[in-house]
Each structure stands twice: as C-alpha cells, then as structure tokens.
Amino acid sequence: MNYPHPFIAREGWPFIAGAAIIASLVHAITDWQWAAPLWVLAFFVLQFFRDPPRVVPEKLNTVLSPADGRIVAVENIRDPYLERDAVKISVFMNVFNVHSNRSPVDGKIISGWYSPGKFISANLPKASLENERNALWIKTANGSDITCVQVAGLIAKRILCYVKAGEYLTRGQRFGFIRFGSRVDVYLPLNTEIKVSIGDKVYATLTVLAELPR
C-alpha cells in the first residue's frame, strides 16, 4: 500500500462518482440553482477522499502522526490492549481532514484487535474505549511496543485496515482509512520523548509526535 498511490483515495471513487452523477442528472433535468447544493456536496465528498503523498522524515527513532487532525489527548494511561502503563497521544480528524491512516513507526505487526462499539463523537475521551475500533500492536527493531488504534466517530461507520499480524510496516506506509470523522490513538512507552501538545495541528507522516529511546 505504499506510494505511488492515487491522489484521490480508491475508497472514495464510488462515493465521488455517485455524488457527481446525481448532481449531473438534477442539473440536466432542472437548472443549476437546484443542482448547486448537490454539486457542493459532490465537491465535499471529493475533498474528503483526497490522499496526497507525504515525505517521510529521515530520523529513524521518530514516531510519526498516523493521521491528519488535531491533538486532543496527551496523557499517561493504561494501554487496554497490551495491559501496560503508557503515554497515549490521540489525533482527532474532522470531516475536512485527510482520512488515510499511515504507520507511525517501522515495525512488525505482532497482533491486532477489532472491537465493535458505539459511534459517539470521536473527540470525546470515552470514544477510545466505547466506539468501534481496530488496534494494531507494532514492535520496532529496538524492541519498543507501539499500539496504534483506529477509532470510528459520530459519522464514521466504516474502519478499513489492510494489514494483519505478521506483516511489516514502514513509517508513513498507508495501512487503512476511516470514513467521515474519527480519531487515531497511539500508545507509547513511558520513556518516550513527546514532541506535541494538546491543540496542535498535525499531519500524517509529516509531523513527529515523539521520539523513541534508542
């Protein structure tokens, strides 16, 4: 799933085509005033599924943002997947952010967990444990354990993950997609050096969230 990859995500092609066809039909049958809201909707769908390529930072021990959005949590907390104390960094994606998800580190996927759940607003803290979610346990070459969790949101109804246990991820590698508003949580070792704060705007692959001990 590495680049080259279409600038408009494949996951969105049916939605974009459907929105454009409906707008075109209404435009042809009526006039532009009736079709205008539908063209706006089609443009919104188009921008939602944009998926631009990103340049991966060269420093190897960095933890990269797995998603575009804003930091809504940086806290010491219990990792519910690996049953350890960890630092959790949460990135909230609104409907105007790119929703393609990329690996935060280089490492082997040890295990994965899918949990059905609710669809409450993804910017709420309880969304991490109550919403539908998909978690990956990634072990880096130096032995650091990273848990990366895709969390569905209020509107998001589909989490897509294209990797499984046993596969190897590289930093910035595209591994999944969440439709229409969501979040990604990253659980890191306690001795990780955090580089972001709550409220920061971040970009998948481009923004360094933290540095792992060497």
CA distance 29 to 12: 26
pLDDT, residue 69, reads 94
CATH number of the structural domain 62-211: 2.70.70.10
* pLDDT at residue 2 tops 50: no
Among 90, 103, 105, 74, which Cα is nearest to 190's? 74
- Residues annotated as catalytic are 182
Backbone angles phi, psi at 57, to 5 degrees: -60, 150
Higher per-residue pLDDT: 124 or 112: 112
* pLDDT at residue 194 tops 90: yes
The domain segmentation of the chain, as residue ranges, is: 10-48, 62-211
Residues in contact with 47: Cβ distance below 8 Å, sequence separation at least 6, in sequence order: 96
Distances (CA, A) of 136 to 11, 44, 52, 125, 177: 21, 30, 23, 19, 14
Question: What is the pLDDT of the chain when averaged over all its residues?
Answer: 87
Higher per-residue pLDDT: 170 or 121: 170
Rounded to two decimals, what is the model's pTM?
Answer: 0.83
Q: Are 16 and 60 in contact (CB under 8 A)?
A: no
Higher per-residue pLDDT: 3 or 151: 151
